[in-house]
Structure 1
Amino acid sequence: MLVPALIREVFPKVFQVDLKPAGLEGFISSYIVAGEKAVIVEPGPSSTAGRLLSALEELSIPPAKVAYILVTHIHVDHAGASGFLLDELPEAKLAVFHRASKHMVDPAKLWESTKQVLGERAEVYGPYKPVPPGRILEVREGDSISAGSFKLEVIESPGHAYHHICYLMPSMKALFAGDAVGVRLPKADATVPTTPPPFRLDIELKTLDKLASLAPEHLCYTHFGAYPNAVEMILGYRRQLELWYSTVREMLGREASLDDMLGELERRDPVLSRFLESYPQEFIRQLIYASLTGMIWYAVREQQ
């Protein structure tokens, strides 16, 4: 069923769609590049597939004009809608990192692990639907995807997930960052880490240096929205990660609980307090706990 979409033009012919899972505004962005051929960047979860189809209709983009669906990684809030959308978009292919494509063809194990990690939140996002192998385009570093005059370059960006990639649009100097540069939500105007296990700080910091070296001017978050001053935001996130990790490692030596770590981080990082005040939902707190758990996971292995 088609549902109304919240659409904003962030660059000429590039539109941000607020997918509003369970009615929550300002949490998941999808982007539609409306060139001679259309491209969807980050289709989001299956529960919001109807909203994305509605956005295509509102933008007068016929289903057969969509050439590609691009995902930064296969977590359910980013890629869950892929199989459902491909049923409605007859010419589209799903671009996904080559080492993760098998999980989109057969997502059964991926969905089971998603339910274990997210609990009830997984059902809010909805399940995956298998993608036919012939509808998949496996991509890696150095590949580019063209849609008429628009080109998107594949940038491998492991850290949040081993298979994470970003997409650079040189013509707009815009980086579609997925979760590589954290979660930035508009009500708080603040960024927090998204570092679930298995997290590697050393790899993530190298990724952030790499992304900054590309000198993008605009940063397009999946969570949430497009912002200027991209390099400044990437380097700011790098500093925040180092602050959070040093705090977690210090408190791990005191056998502190997750709540203790969260309280200490609220004292050391004022951005976190603003974030939690603006988003009191329990699942947001769980997102923070997952990030702390990933940092603990890395700290324990670093000490071994």
Structure 2
Amino acid sequence: MTNTKKVAENIYLIDARVFGIPNFTSAYLIAGEKLALIETGPTKSVPFIIEGIRGVGFDPADISYLVVTHIHLDHGGGAGTLVREMPEAKVVVHEKGARHMIDPSKLVNSSKRVFGDLIDEWYGEVLPVEQDRIMPVKGGEIIDLGKGQRLRMIDSPGHSNHHICIYSEKEKGLFTGDAVGVYLSDSGRLIPTTPPPEFDPDVNVETIKGFLGLDLKLLLFSHFGITEKVNQTLNMGIDWLMKWKESVSGMMSKGLSQEGITEKFRADTREALGSDRGKELLCQWVIEHHIPMCAMGYLNYFKKKDLTAS
């Protein structure tokens, strides 16, 4: 049970060890009369997910729902492999992303445009999910697991246009996916996650503001872990998104390159890492790979905005 811990009544966090990094990517097992798994991680995480489920006394074959907050490979790339271990499971995904679970080729190629062949090394082979295993949602649907475990799907655009968050009515907890950011559990800070091609900071901020209106006691992050400091953390996410938007706008008006914007983001992030700096693998990956992706997301947003205005 080394990679699993109980974080609420009948909710277990499984460390998916994406990129081989501990304490960076969470999947969550929720037990009612039925079982649900939120996030699958990529294909390379499947052994850790299976181990985690078994480690708390459940059989992966008994999973009824695999819920992916969005189709990015570190969140849903392993679904096609996991369903082969979970014959009864439906894959719950935003209707705008469902086709990419059925045929992941365009998704993989899009990811390779950002990260190149590292995608294969990081994530492994991405297998398709059969269409009859897909349960598309658009927000508002309820998955009733029994024993009071009701999960409400929430349309949560901004990070991507096919993003859902999941609200646990029993725990008053929100499974945030990437809608709020990357949570640094040691320092209690956040780092935004703003990838191309769909990231929109304005839409993302409105999504987080909507979360502030929910009856919440707990945030459960896909990256990584949980916090009970709900409003403080949500407002931190809003502040980061607006700060970086203003920074990029100012730097672009001065003609700064993508490299210059990336270095500004890296400086901000090194400061935010704080006491998490002892996690060398995590910090290295964030600085070398995550931050350039975030800069690309903002630049892509402004380019699309300029095209719309012209």
The TM-score, its normalising length taken from structure 1, stands at: 0.92
Contact 2:191 2:269 in 1 (8 A): no
Match 1:294 to one of 291, 297, 304: 297
- Structure 1: unaligned runs, 5 residues or longer: none
One-letter amino acid of the structure 2 residue matched with residue 179 of structure 1:
D
1:154 equivalent in alignment to 2:157: no
Contact 1:63 1:90 in 2 (8 A): no
Q: Which residue of 1 aligns with 2:216?
A: 216
One-letter amino acid of the structure 2 residue matched with residue 162 of structure 1:
N
For residues 286 and 22 of structure 1, what CA distance do their matches in structure 2 show?
Answer: 11
For residues 270 and 41 of structure 2, what CA distance do their matches in structure 1 show?
Answer: 30
User: Which deviates the most, 182-191 or 140-149?
Assistant: 182-191
Q: Which residue of 2 aligns with 1:242?
A: 242
Percent of residue pairs identical? 32
Q: 1:87 to 1:201 in 2, by over 3 A?
A: same
One-letter amino acid of the structure 2 residue matched with residue 298 of structure 1:
Y
One-letter amino acid of the structure 1 residue matched with residue 258 of structure 2:
L
| Root mean square deviation of aligned Cα | 2.1
Q: Which residue of 1 aligns with 2:127?
A: 129
What are the within-5 Å matches in structure 2 for residues 69-84 of structure 1?
A: 69-84=66-81
One-letter amino acid of the structure 2 residue matched with residue 200 of structure 1:
D
For residues 93 and 57 of structure 1, what CA distance do their matches in structure 2 show?
Answer: 19
Q: Which residue of 2 aligns with 1:42?
A: 39
Alpha-carbon shift at residue 155 of structure 1 (Å): 0.3
SS at match of 2:83: helix
SS at match of 2:4: strand
SS at match of 2:22: coil
User: Which deviates the most, 182-191 or 31-40?
Assistant: 182-191
Q: Which residue of 2 aligns with 1:172?
A: 171
CA offsets, 1:161-204, max 9 Å, x none?
11001000011010000000011233554311111123222211
Contact 2:4 2:12 in 1 (8 A): yes
CA offsets, 1:40-94, max 9 Å, x none?
0011111010111111211221233211000000000000111111111111110
For residues 69 and 252 of structure 2, what CA distance do their matches in structure 1 show?
Answer: 32
1:228 equivalent in alignment to 2:228: yes
Alignment length (residue pairs): 301
- Structure 2: unaligned runs, 5 residues or longer: none
One-letter amino acid of the structure 1 residue matched with residue 150 of structure 2:
K
Contact 1:249 1:296 in 2 (8 A): no
Contact 2:24 2:224 in 1 (8 A): yes
For residues 284 and 30 of structure 1, what CA distance do their matches in structure 2 show?
Answer: 23
For residues 300 and 15 of structure 2, what CA distance do their matches in structure 1 show?
Answer: 33
Q: Which residue of 1 aligns with 2:189?
A: 190
SS at match of 1:176: strand
Alpha-carbon shift at residue 231 of structure 1 (Å): 2.1
One-letter amino acid of the structure 1 residue matched with residue 13 of structure 2:
Q
SS at match of 1:134: helix
For residues 117 and 49 of structure 2, what CA distance do their matches in structure 1 show?
Answer: 23
1:281 equivalent in alignment to 2:280: no
